[in-house]
Amino acid sequence: MFNKKILAYLRFLPVQLFFGLLLCTWIPYLFFDWDYLTQGFDKASTFNILISATLTLLTLFTLNLIRQFPGINSTSYILPVFLFWFIIIFALAELTHFPFSFIYYCLSSVCLLSYLFIVNIINRRYEVQTLAYIPVGRALNMPEQVPSADWLKLDTTNLDQYVNGIVTDLHSYDLTADWQEFIANKTLQGIPVYHHRNIRESLTGRVRINHMYENELGSLLPCENYMLIKYCLDILIILLLLPFTLIIFLLTAIAIKREDGGKVFYVQSRVGYRGEIIKVYKFRSMREASKEVLTVDNDDRITKVGKFIRKTRVDELPQFLNVIKGEMSLIGPRAEFIDFAVKLEQQVPFFNYRHIVKPGISGWAQVNQGYATGAEETQLKIEYDFYYIKHISFTLDLLIFFRTIHTTLTGFGAR
């Protein structure tokens, strides 16, 4: 019983941080150096502990922030997040000439990586939620709409098992006085009660829009201060990646030119920030045609080189120029073709609202769904875009950044 309680407490970030710092700073010394027991910590030992503790804190904090967003399989983020902070901290330590031991740093990192997978197993045990729902109004079909949770249908006001929360349509006229009393009693007992729209949004990562007032999107303008910080971060990341991207640019240009001798770059007119028309730059991945049409699965216009660069998203790299010009961001809703955008304005409610932020090279819809072509897929994409606009933050952008790395490696959603 004691062991089970300890494991349950490991769900909480402060406990994870305590054990993480203890294990990842102390255990390496068992294999590395025992002199500190008699002589105390010297300057090098202090720096060893400092960089190890920094790596542990930043990695655990980042993974904890990522887990808060819906539809996240945290297992796939452990390695990229760990490697990201491992490289950043090591580079900073080298640049500042800290007297630290690389062997100790590696031993500590192995301990941390092992610890992260153990914590992840414990977290996943508690990730699936059991939710009871009152089948009235728009909450009638919650199990079909949100299959990621375990659902318990309430036909009566008797609830004799543990649930993580109760879901219903709080605006429904079918919510009788008995149900309202039931909700009040369960709230007093500490069981949270959710409106169907809020729980659907938090578990699917999408915002469904039928009426503007439902989510008050008209009043949700992105914070101007964060948008300025976001632009500065975009420029900083592009500059840091420049030595690597220049090599990729050169190799890609040579490959495209050698394959068919055509143009290396392709310029497309797209709808950008606040509906303005922008010229988007891409590596040419298809045979040139007289008219722009949407790409479909197994499109025979795609070249051999084009198939590879589209799968790995290398064809998007020239859009760094659009980002530098301030027309786009690294993260944001996808910029649409003009003709396609005009059609969507007529078919999808409040489609234009997605232009309230700059379009991005990658985005919440792209990493969750991939490219969309039909009206039904596009409707889902818009719901993902609205979720991003509603919850835009550094944390969400960081999640999309790591998820973009994952989709780049796997080729998810490429056409």
Say if residue 87 is in the same domain as residue 170.
Answer: no
Mean pLDDT highest for which of 315-319, 340-344, 375-379?
Answer: 315-319
Residue 136 neighbours by CB under 8 Å, 6+ apart:
168, 169, 172, 174, 175, 179
pTM of the model as a whole: 0.74
The answer to whether residue 395 is domain-embedded is: yes
The answer to whether residue 217 is domain-embedded is: no
pLDDT at 128 over 80: no
Model confidence pLDDT, tens digit, residues 181-238: 999 998 988 888 988 888 888 788 888 766 555 445 555 677 788 889 999 999 998 9
Say if residue 325 is in the same domain as residue 338.
Answer: yes
**What local confidence, expressed as pLDDT, does residue 414 receive?**
52
Torsional sign, CA 317, 318, 320, 323: negative
Say if residue 51 is in the same domain as residue 107.
Answer: yes
User: How many Cβ atoms sit within 10 Å of the Cβ of residue 128?
Assistant: 10
The answer to whether residue 273 is domain-embedded is: yes
Say if residue 302 is in the same domain as residue 351.
Answer: yes
User: Of 89, 109, 125, which residue is a domain's last?
Assistant: 125
pLDDT at 301 over 50: yes
Say if residue 253 is in the same domain as residue 334.
Answer: yes
**What local confidence, expressed as pLDDT, does residue 290 receive?**
46
The answer to whether residue 163 is domain-embedded is: yes
Say if residue 262 is in the same domain as residue 348.
Answer: yes
The answer to whether residue 152 is domain-embedded is: yes
Range of the domain at 69: 2-125
Print burial letters for 284-308: b (CB count within 10 Å at least 16), e (below 16).
bbbeeeeeeeebeeebeebbebbbb
Say if residue 61 is in the same domain as residue 197.
Answer: no
Higher pLDDT, 43 or 221: 221
The answer to whether residue 218 is domain-embedded is: no
Distance in angstroms (rounded) separating the CA atoms of residues 272 and 356 = 9
Share of residues in the chain with pLDDT > 70 (%): 82
Bridge-based pairing state of the strands 265-271 and 336-337: antiparallel
Into how many domains does the chain fold?
A: 3
Q: Are 369 and 388 in contact (CB under 8 A)?
A: no
Say if residue 150 is in the same domain as residue 98.
Answer: no
Structure tokens at 155: 């036909």
The answer to whether residue 212 is domain-embedded is: no
Distance in angstroms (rounded) separating the CA atoms of residues 386 and 69 = 15
Say if residue 275 is in the same domain as residue 330.
Answer: yes
Residue 340 neighbours by CB under 8 Å, 6+ apart:
294
pLDDT at 40 over 70: no
User: Of 75, 96, 125, which residue is a domain's last?
Assistant: 125
Structure tokens at 337: 């073709």
| Amino acid present at 395 | T
Say if residue 229 is in the same domain as residue 377.
Answer: yes
Say if residue 398 is in the same domain as residue 287.
Answer: yes
Mean pLDDT calculated for residue range 361-365: 90
Say if residue 194 is in the same domain as residue 327.
Answer: no
Structure tokens at 64: 């904890």
The answer to whether residue 343 is domain-embedded is: yes
